[in-house]
Chain A
Amino acid sequence: MKAEDLFDAIGDIDDKLIMESDIKRKKKAGFKRYQGILAAAACLLLIVGIVSFLNPLVQRPGSTDNPGISDNPEGNGPLPYDPANPEEWTEPEVVENPGMEPGAEWVNFNAGPVMPMTLVAEDDNISAKRGLTYDFSGTTKENKGVVAVQDKYVLSNSSAEDREITVSYPYVGNIKDMMAAVPALTVDGNTVDADITNGSYLGYDKNGELRHFYPGVLTDDYMTMIKGVEKDWPAIDEGLLEQEVTVYEIDDFTGGNVPADVATLALRLKVKDTGKVFFSHCTGMFSDGEYVTVYVTLAHLPKGGVPKVYVIGEAAEEYSLKGYSYVQISSQYETTEVSGKVIEGQTTVEDVLWDLTNFYTKDAAADSGKKELMKSLGNDRLAEMFTDMYHYRNDGVSSDEDLIFYEPALSDIAYMAFEYEQIYYFTQTVTVPGNGSVSLTWDYVKKGSHNTYEPNEDFRDNFCYDNLPNLETKLYFTEQTAALVETGNIRIEDQNYGFDPERGVLKVTLESDAERYYMVVKVLK
């Protein structure tokens, strides 16, 4: 056996032993100050086993090995591994040049595909020619593969009578980006203001089978969303929005001498129905069916974010707030050094959601001139998500064990509502003259899909652009083409379009019944 073999085998030792070794001991000078706390903790440890089923702070429902407030609240807790010489520590460099392997399915940022325009109602008299242009002249490594997309449609009317039609254009983007710039529509060269509505988010399922609030990961996910659940959209419970809410705002949170990443406040409430309790800007929550404990760690407070616990309907019968200085696998040290106060107030669900909307949009750009519209769209999205979350917890599968996976964190879903890529629909009514045509052009910028953490240098700065030429469209296409504009700042690594810039092939005809076109480009500048 070699020393290397032994070192290698030590890499597989018992996890619990490694966790134990993560606990730091205070230096003697500071130890005195904590002696009382440690003594109390020692006593506490003795009774942990006895009260584990009684005290939600001690035993997390459904967990057998997680007896603390959290094993590592929000991850940072007492730092599990801290280099002893911080002055010698250098922050790891951030990989600034994201990319992806040509042809790879694995991406960790999917900007969503370009999808075809459709008609709200089918019309046999209308046919379309489509010309899609990717203009890479402004694409740089710094802007993460942003390409200017022009998606042009010439709609022809084969009947002698004018036809009034409503078109719908599906677009994948996020609210914050759209506050800076929204897709622009021109009809026969004239700019028009198309209506914008929310599409679906992945996870919505009316039958309660899927209840998670995440965006598409793969292009297939967007296909699923468009094909599957759009028809039932939207799903806001207006009655729920009007319900009364008691708010418990945690204010004046101070940690004294306790480091911020271990200074934790726990608000314990006795409520009639734990399914009616939600929170924002807190670290986590447990419930034992009667009491709910929401905890928040000082270091994890977002800038300007105030921890709040919401009880819908009947207010808590009683509540208490306690401070803790150290929270670990089997230790929790209650201390008065960590303190705060609770401010109780009354509001409605609707106002709670608007408060979160204002928080997540307060620093957003407003270049598009549509900030208020986007706030409203985002707020609707949040209301849809909250409707889904509320009914999941109260009418669906809502055991305490499930709450571990679906924590009622409104700030989490608000973040998703405003910053995650989602589907939006732009609609516009136009008249196509008898035996004539009308031209509609959509112009917008779009990020490239990529791997943010691409380890292979050869694949960094690679970005992918998908096009789904017939996804759920009610338009009959007589022709679809794709064109490429580039200024030597990109190189195509992989594609199925048929472009060949070296031979001057910058425009190709697409098969309208093809499922998917893709193009991976390396950005060179």
Chain B
Amino acid sequence: MEDQKIIDLYVKRDEKAIEKTADKYGKYCFSIAYNVLMSHEDSEECVNDTWIKTWNTIPPAMPECFRIFLGKITRNLSFDKYRYNHSEKRGGGVIGAVLDELEEVVAGSDSVEEAYERKILVEAINTYLHTLSKRDCNIFIRRYFYGEETKDIAQRYAIKESNVLMILSRTRKKLQQHLKEEALL
């Protein structure tokens, strides 16, 4: 079933909306949650929460790209769960490594209490990503949005893993510079 028809089911408050969403995007959302949480049980819970949040959000929300809309909800819920599970110590797995890498970017921050608005930060990241080549931007997103393994990214874009690591290192440094210029670090 096409996305618009599924969204239409939500608008009509039709129970099949959840079923159709789960059929079509269950694996996609599960994979996002699993990359963050590395736990089948927790990932399943986040995916189920995604369906409920979607049900409660549409309407009034009318997503332009339903898949990405679901992906973002799953990612946010999964990361909330991750933070809850690791409130004292950063966990391992891919997400632990991803956060360690991002730590490099924020290393120049004067204070962990530094005030900034999340919206401004998102805008700064968007602006920065548009300055990258399409390939570098895609690789950045696969790593830091989806939390994919670097070897998987290499396979996706048919390049060597060492190239992926190099590109990620370069983009992190550029991001750090950009955030400093925007006075966010």
Contacts and interface: CB of A to CB of B under 8 A. Distances in A.
A453 B102 contact: no
Contacts, number: 187
B15 A110 contact: yes
B185 interface: yes
Interface in A14-37: 14-15, 17-21, 23-28, 31
A38 B121 CA distance: 37
B79 A6 contact: no
Given A31-B158, A72-B67, A453-B48, A108 B19 contact: yes
Nearest to A76: B24
A50 interface: no
A93 B40 contact: yes
Interface string B54-78: 0100000000110111011001100
Given A92-B26, A405-B8, A13 B126 contact: yes
B98 A7 contact: yes
Given A1-B184, A83-B152, A13 B129 contact: yes
A14 B129 contact: yes
> Which of A1, A4, A12 gathers the greatest number of chain B CB atoms within 10 Å?
A1
Nearest to A420: B16
A453 B155 contact: no
A345 interface: no
A3 B102 contact: yes
A404 interface: yes
Contacts of B144: 7, 10
A383 B87 CA distance: 59
A84 B40 contact: no
A405 B51 contact: no
Contacts of A517: none
A334 interface: no
A84 B83 contact: no
A9 B99 contact: no
Contacts of A404: 4
Nearest to B141: A21
Contact of B102 (A6, A70, A90): A6
Contact of B2 (A10, A13, A31, A284): A284
A217 B15 contact: yes
B68 A19 contact: yes
A28 B1 contact: no
Contacts of B185: 1
Contacts of A65: 64
A9 B76 CA distance: 10
Contact of A108 (B18, B31, B130): B18
Interface string B5-24: 10011001111111100101
B134 A20 contact: yes
Contacts of A8: 76, 79, 118
Contact of B145 (A4, A21, A217, A405): A21
B152 A92 contact: no
A87 interface: no
A11 interface: yes
20 contacts: A1-B114, A1-B121, A6-B102, A10-B125, A11-B72, A15-B69, A18-B141, A19-B65, A21-B137, A21-B138, A21-B141, A21-B146, A27-B158, A82-B156, A110-B15, A214-B12, A215-B14, A217-B15, A405-B5, A407-B5
Given A9-B121, A84-B153, A108-B15, 19 more contacts: A1-B121, A4-B83, A7-B99, A8-B118, A12-B118, A13-B122, A17-B129, A18-B68, A24-B156, A27-B158, A28-B158, A71-B65, A75-B25, A92-B43, A95-B48, A110-B15, A218-B13, A405-B4, A454-B48
